[in-house]
Amino acid sequence: MREPLELLIDRLNTPIGELLIIADRDGKLRTIDWTDHEARMRRLLDRYYGKGCYTLTTARDPGGLTTAMRAYFKGDLDVIDKLPVATTGTPFQQAVWRALRKIRRGQTISYAELARRIGKPKAVRAAGLANGQNPISIVVPCHRVIGSNGTLTGYGGGLPRKKWLLEHEGALSAPLL
């Protein structure tokens, strides 16, 4: 039987709530979520890694990720572009999550554009579902995807946080692609 995956967890107070930062021993970000959604985060960890197949150990600033996220919230918006991530998911989800990382700060795209960017223009709903199952919010910037009509739709952390993140990045006034 293989050893459980050891994951390291830290917490960061931000202007929009306490953030949970989970990394592996190699310093790769595995998930980010808000403490008020910790139960959902644990369900996702169970789904992606298997119930009982990982451990969560409290650690201070694993891989420098807490420091990087603190810098992001203080205005160093580019810091998240360089953070190493490791996720598990279907090939379709992985394609969506890679496309999300290519959306530059200050920009938003629609779900239809997201589907087009992964070469599946008719899979708008599926792209939206994969976007919503992204385990690494902010760094894999699912908040940068909005409705085709420019409205803020769906964000696991809640629409007020999505609005704050987009304002923080200067994206709300940017044109929709």
- Report yes or no on 159 lying in a domain: yes
- How much of the chain, in percent, has pLDDT values that exceed 90? 77
Catalytic residue among 22, 32, 45, 142: 142
**Residue 173: what pLDDT?**
58
Is 9 in the same domain as 75? yes
Q: Return the structure tokens found at 141.
A: 């910037």
Last residue of a domain, one of 64, 82, 100: 82
Last residue of a domain, one of 47, 82, 117: 82
Task: Provide DSSP, the chain.
Answer: -PPPEEEEEEEEEETTEEEEEEEETTS-EEEEEEGGGHHHHHHHHHHHH-TTSEEEEE-SSGGGHHHHHHHHHTT-GGGGGG--B-----HHHHHHHHHHHTSPTT-BEEHHHHHHHTT-TT-HHHHHHHHHT-SBTTTS-GGGEE-TTS-----TT-HHHHHHHHHHTT-TTSPB-
- Report yes or no on 177 lying in a domain: no
* Identity of the highest mean pLDDT range in 23-27, 86-90, 151-155: 23-27
Total domain count for the chain? Answer: 2
**Residue 148: what pLDDT?**
84
Q: By residue range, what is the domain housing residue 130?
A: 91-168
Is 62 in the same domain as 101? no
CATH number of the domain bearing residue 148: 1.10.10.10
CB 23 within 8 A of CB 67: no
Is 77 in the same domain as 17? yes
- Whether 98 has a pLDDT exceeding 90, the answer reads yes
Rounded to a whole number, what is the largest CA-CA distance in the chain?
53
- Report yes or no on 175 lying in a domain: no
Q: What's the N-to-C CA distance of the chain in angstroms?
A: 48
* Entry pTM: 0.91
**Residue 2: what pLDDT?**
74
**Residue 29: what pLDDT?**
97
**Residue 155: what pLDDT?**
79
- Whether 31 has a pLDDT exceeding 80, the answer reads yes
- Report yes or no on 58 lying in a domain: yes
- How much of the chain, in percent, has pLDDT values that exceed 70? 97
- Report yes or no on 10 lying in a domain: yes
Is 120 in the same domain as 156? yes
Strands 54-58 and 29-34: unpaired
Separation of alpha carbons 30 and 86, rounded Å: 5
Is 14 in the same domain as 78? yes
Q: Return the structure tokens found at 170.
A: 């200067």
Q: What is the mean pLDDT of residues 37-64?
A: 92
Q: Cα dihedral angle (30, 83, 111, 152), rounded to 10 degrees? A: 90
pLDDT band at 104 (very low <50, low <70, confident <90, very high): very high
Q: What is the mean pLDDT of residues 122-133?
A: 93
Is 25 in the same domain as 74? yes
- Whether 44 has a pLDDT exceeding 70, the answer reads yes
142 in active site: yes
